[in-house]
């Protein structure tokens, strides 16, 4: 299965995909795209010798124009699954229509709690004692698509986003590659009785 990754930042989740799924079980990362030309994620792709391209907002008339350009490039690279690994832009319906049920995202909270930006900060301000990670399919909403994998961690006295993220990152780096492997293996489907429910055959 050919995988494309979109990333806006440091790219540690992208690196986990390079380290744990790229080149094994028939999975190849064939393209990495970013909205940020200086995203370290792009450099990680170059080091891994995977085609990498930036699509900055200034180069396009609007979001949908940019998204279509990204979709065209990913398609030309043969992408079959699109993984959002810290991609901090909402994707247009036109983009999602090009990869139906084939866009997934990793989010640093137990959805449906704390969607959107600054999820960990939201969770700390709320005063939660349990944090976590969600990998989910992307739909037209903000972090609202069907959940594929989730894992919780108790951090009852956490106060600083950095300390929570330090504990969440290793979980992300396990769950995101695992979700990609499961999808590549054909082990992920939707419950016909409730398509919000993702069924995993292990």
- Active-site positions? 107
- When the beta carbons of 66 and 107 are compared against ligand GAR, the nearer one is 107
Q: Around Cβ 151, how many Cβ atoms within 10 Å?
A: 16
Nearer to ligand GAR, 169 or 185 (CB): 169
**Minimum Å distance from CB 186 to ligand GAR?**
25
The residue among 65 and 115 lying less far from ligand GAR, judged by its C-beta, is 115
> CB 106 → ligand GAR: shortest distance, Å?
5
For the CB of residue 61, give the shortest distance to ligand GAR in the complex, in Å.
Answer: 25
Give the whole-angstrom CA distance, residue 168 versus residue 153.
8
Nearest-approach distance from CB 84 to ligand GAR, in angstroms: 7
Contacts of 23 (CB under 8 A, 6+ apart): none
H/E element, 105: strand 103-107
SS3 35: coil
State the residues that interact with ligand GAR by CB under 6 A. Answer: 7, 9-13, 85-86, 106-108, 119, 143, 172
Nearest to 100 by CA among 149, 146, 35, 41: 146
Cβ nearer to ligand GAR, comparing 110 with 193: 110
| Three-state SS at 34 | strand
How many whole angstroms separate alpha carbon 27 and alpha carbon 6? 16
CB nearest ligand GAR: which residue?
Answer: 86
């Amino acid at each position: 299965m050919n995988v494309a990754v979109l990333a806006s930042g440091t790219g540690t989740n992208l690196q986990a995909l390079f380290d744990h799924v790229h080149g094994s079980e028939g999975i190849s990362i064939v393209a990495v795209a970013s909205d940020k030309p200086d995203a370290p994620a792009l450099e990680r792709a170059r080091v891994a010798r995977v085609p990498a391209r930036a699509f900055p907002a200034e180069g396009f008339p609007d979001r949908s124009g940019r998204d279509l350009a990204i979709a065209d490039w990913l398609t030309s690279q043969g992408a079959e699954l699109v993984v959002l690994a810290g991609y901090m832009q909402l994707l247009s319906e036109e983009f999602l229509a090009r990869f139906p049920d084939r866009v997934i995202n990793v989010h640093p909270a137990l959805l449906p709690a704390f969607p959107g930006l600054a999820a960990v900060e939201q969770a700390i301000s709320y005063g939660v004692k349990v944090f976590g990670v969600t990998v989910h399919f992307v739909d037209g909403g903000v972090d609202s698509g069907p959940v594929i994998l989730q894992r919780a961690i108790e951090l009852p006295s956490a106060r600083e986003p950095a300390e929570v993220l330090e504990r969440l990152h290793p979980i992300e780096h396990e769950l995101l590659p695992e979700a990609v492997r499961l999808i590549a293996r054909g082990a992920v489907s939707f419950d016909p009785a409730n398509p919000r429910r993702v069924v995993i055959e292990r």
